[in-house]
Amino acid sequence: MSNMEMDLERLAGLISDIQFTMLTTVSDDGSIHSRPMATQKLDEKNFDGTLWFFSKKTSHKNHCIEKDQHVNLAYANPSKQRYVSVSGRANIVEDRSKMQELWTPTLKAWFPEGLMDPEISLISVKIESAEIWDSPSSKMVQMVGM
């Protein structure tokens, strides 16, 4: 197993532990916004470095991503004092079979109509680098740098 694969596997384990992330995007005027998002289930053993989210086509974040693909995902688990920063590039994806593969009933909180919602889309985030901190005094550990 290469170092990169090991890193990705460890990263996948950390991320899977934290249900919601703060997805940060840059707006047209340069201001930076974040919002909580549910990371869709990933395959920890064969993680390929792409994270998936459901999002509305007309949302502010989709608009930001169409203009500037750079995003950050901040994962915080305060009770374990564990923090992860993922930097990557986002794409809007309208692949119906991928949506079917990833759909879970808990998504009904934001998409009551489910996959029938004409506004539904996926956001994929290809990880470019990641850092973790796993105790307050710990130095940052660079995990993935691609």
Shortest Cβ 22–ligand FMN spacing (Å)? 9
d(CA 62, CA 136): 33
CA dist 135 → 80, 82, 84, 143 (Å):
8, 6, 11, 15
Shortest Cβ 46–a second copy spacing (Å)? 26
Residue 3 or 31: the one with the smaller Cβ distance to ligand FMN is 31
Instruction: Count interface residues toward ligand FMN (CB under 6 A).
Output: 18
d(CA 33, CA 112): 25
CA dist 116 → 70, 119, 133, 140, 141 (Å):
29, 9, 40, 43, 42
Residue 74's binding partner among ligand FMN, a second copy, none (Cβ under 5 to 8 angstroms by kind) is: a second copy
Residue 46's binding partner among ligand FMN, a second copy, none (Cβ under 5 to 8 angstroms by kind) is: none
Residue 73 touches ligand FMN, criterion: CB under 6 A: no
Contacts with ligand FMN in 24-63 (CB under 6 A)? 35-38, 53-56, 59-61
Q: CB-based contacts of 36: which residues, under 8 Å, 6+ apart? A: 20, 21, 22, 23
Q: Which residues bind ligand FMN (CB under 6 A)?
A: 20, 35-38, 53-56, 59-61, 83, 110, 133, 136, 138, 140
